[in-house]
Structure 1
């Protein structure tokens, strides 16, 4: 089973996932603050829901096969909040919803893709020609992931209404992203690799609706509102390119490694843009029963959502059902360690194109996480639930202590 999980109900179809964000947008549009959010949400909704219709036309016109078009097979919902650890400051909340496509094996025929996906694939080919340099290899698979999310950051003191110059500024980010993942294994190699390329577009500032979202949640749970949002970063378009690579030992083509086992996953990452510009190096260790044949569990990232292709879970045809007999329930413990060299972080450095509040960013940041993940079948659909506690070192000189927050991820195979 892959990084995602499955089931019916609220998350049974991707369009249903966006009902909660839509509620927030309806509440705020009458104040004239929801236009950018509506646009981002509409882009996210259009890509997965129109892909099948667009590909039907491509199939009839270009003779595309079923396994050459984009068909969405599952998704993930993530929630992160520092209230899980008893605080309410710094990176205080993050939500992300993703939809992931079926796998496309071998050579990618861009004429079989819907327009937004095709344009992004062509842009990646232009910027990074080597990404598909071995696309004739039918053993390599690829898929598309579409992501919508929001992140918010606040200082420590919620009651102050004056500018706080020695603490993290108020900041919000609303974004959509689209990524291509390529899973590779050479027959002569004992390891396999996951390469990811993502482009993220969004908005920083009041149009991110971070203030309205936090107020809505705090009112619902009876918590005090933060009163200094009038000093948040100014509106600014956000753009980021992300490159990720992960390595692990090759464990075959099945959805799990049967029985009790351990493994490790190494990772490299590079992000360029005014959301974050950084380079990362990390490792994850796992121990448990029936480990999933994926590339690990991780918190929400400002860049790629690198959920791997997983053709091994499905039989040879793209239209074939989930291989229930091979997908055994499992549970495992995991721990991650990551170090990051940061050249720019909008939540610390402030606006890139306009003057704004900022703090003294520290160039090196370390992060560790520990958690538990369980997967299985619910009514014939693969389901995975991962819960973790994340620890992060000080990110700016004025920060008094390290930060911790909790993360919950629910994934579903449709």
Structure 2
């Protein structure tokens, strides 16, 4: 390609953080970030109302350096040097079977469930990596308000309510620990330096009573101002770059595509309640996602749109499932 100016690939990118000891800490960022995010299978084509059917999140990211000393020391001990900030999120996700008009849902299909949770994360950045460690507290069952939110919205827009919510998971508290590491590597500059091409490998894991998994994958993205963030955020399964970003120029934009694979040891939304008998189906432990989308940052406002294609999470499910995600973030 005549507009390729240079191309470099770092083989050591996937060998761990020790290969990136040269990375420096980015400048301090005094800005706070507020994010509203919605995910829904109705955002996809064809539009459906099943499985992971809806998610909503309100997130807040602090300025850098605004965190307790013990957390700062914890991050330095765990990740080494880097610029630190905290992220807080209130989120709800909703799952339903494929046929939502049955009063007695198919017992071989995903059970009805909602999850309402509050999470906090430590985000620690160098110029080439983003490390995240977090904790989530929440509840599944009627207290998560999945039935109220979904059927209330259906009533608002004149749709038939879903009929099998009386078979949803029982109330149960949830506790999850999670972490991730993203590497950011420039692999090419294109068209005389006007465009950049990056790869962002990512590994993540979670342990708790909602999900236990280990995941690895990566994004490739093309655009301008790529050092402004580590990719878009996701609420559902997939690669999550978090809400934190610092615009490096007035207009930042990129298109991206990626994929990941995940080994799942436990999923309460598929396997049912941990401490009580409930509807459940057999888990498929090897799962994966593919995603494509675009993001833009203009005057400090970041908007991202992502389409995610998921492999089956349980036996007897459809060969693939998809949902859309839209996130809007503002700095102040």
TM-superposed deviation, 1:309: 5.9
In the TM superposition, what whole-angstrom CA distance separates every residue of 1:329-354 from its partner, at most 9, and x where no partner exists?
A: 13221112011000011110111111
Matches within 5 A, 1:152-231: 152-185=94-127, 192-231=128-167
SS at match of 1:330: strand
In the TM superposition, what whole-angstrom CA distance separates every residue of 1:16-52 from its partner, at most 9, and x where no partner exists?
A: xxxxxxxxxxxxxxxxxxxxxxxxxxxxxxxxxxxxx
2:61 corresponds to: 100
Task: Tell me: CA distance 1:304–1:274, structure 2 relative to 1, closer, same or farther (3 Å).
Answer: farther
Residue 404 of structure 1, aligned match among 319, 322, 330: 322
1:285 corresponds to: 220
Task: Tell me: CA distance 1:129–1:350, structure 2 relative to 1, closer, same or farther (3 Å).
Answer: farther
1:25 corresponds to: none
Is 1:73 equivalent to 2:15 in the alignment? no
Matches within 5 A, 1:237-386: 237-249=173-185, 259-301=194-236, 307=242, 327-377=249-299, 382-386=300-304
Distance 1:146 1:305 in 2: 15
SS at match of 1:104: coil
Report if the CA contact (8 A) 1:141-1:309 is conserved. no
Whichever structure has more strand as a proportion of its residues is 2
Residue 308 of structure 2, aligned match among 362, 383, 390: 390
Residue 232 of structure 1, aligned match among 155, 163, 168: 168
* Unaligned residue ranges in structure 2 (runs of 5+): 1-26, 188-192
TM-superposed deviation, 1:291: 2.8
SS at match of 2:170: coil
Distance 1:302 1:373 in 2: 18
Task: Tell me: CA distance 1:303–1:72, structure 2 relative to 1, closer, same or farther (3 Å).
Answer: farther
Report if the CA contact (8 A) 1:284-1:336 is conserved. yes
Report if the CA contact (8 A) 2:124-2:131 is conserved. yes
Task: Tell me: CA distance 1:164–1:336, structure 2 relative to 1, closer, same or farther (3 Å).
Answer: same
* Unaligned residue ranges in structure 1 (runs of 5+): 1-66, 111-117, 186-191, 252-257, 314-325
| Larger CA deviation: 286-295 vs 193-202 | 286-295
Task: Tell me: CA distance 1:305–1:336, structure 2 relative to 1, closer, same or farther (3 Å).
Answer: closer
Aligned residues: 299
In the TM superposition, what whole-angstrom CA distance separates every residue of 1:298-333 from its partner, at most 9, and x where no partner exists?
A: 4214799653766x65xxxxxxxxxxxx52213221
Matches within 5 A, 1:1-16: none
Residue 43 of structure 2, aligned match among 84, 103, 121: 84
Task: Tell me: CA distance 1:306–1:331, structure 2 relative to 1, closer, same or farther (3 Å).
Answer: closer
Is 1:131 equivalent to 2:70 in the alignment? no
Distance 1:173 1:302 in 2: 14
Q: Which has the higher contact order (CA 8 A, sep 6+)?
A: 1
TM-superposed deviation, 1:400: 2.6
Whichever structure has more helix as a proportion of its residues is 1
- Compute the RMSD of aligned alpha carbons: 2.7
Distance 1:266 1:305 in 2: 11
Normalising to structure 2: TM-score of the pair? 0.83
SS at match of 1:348: helix
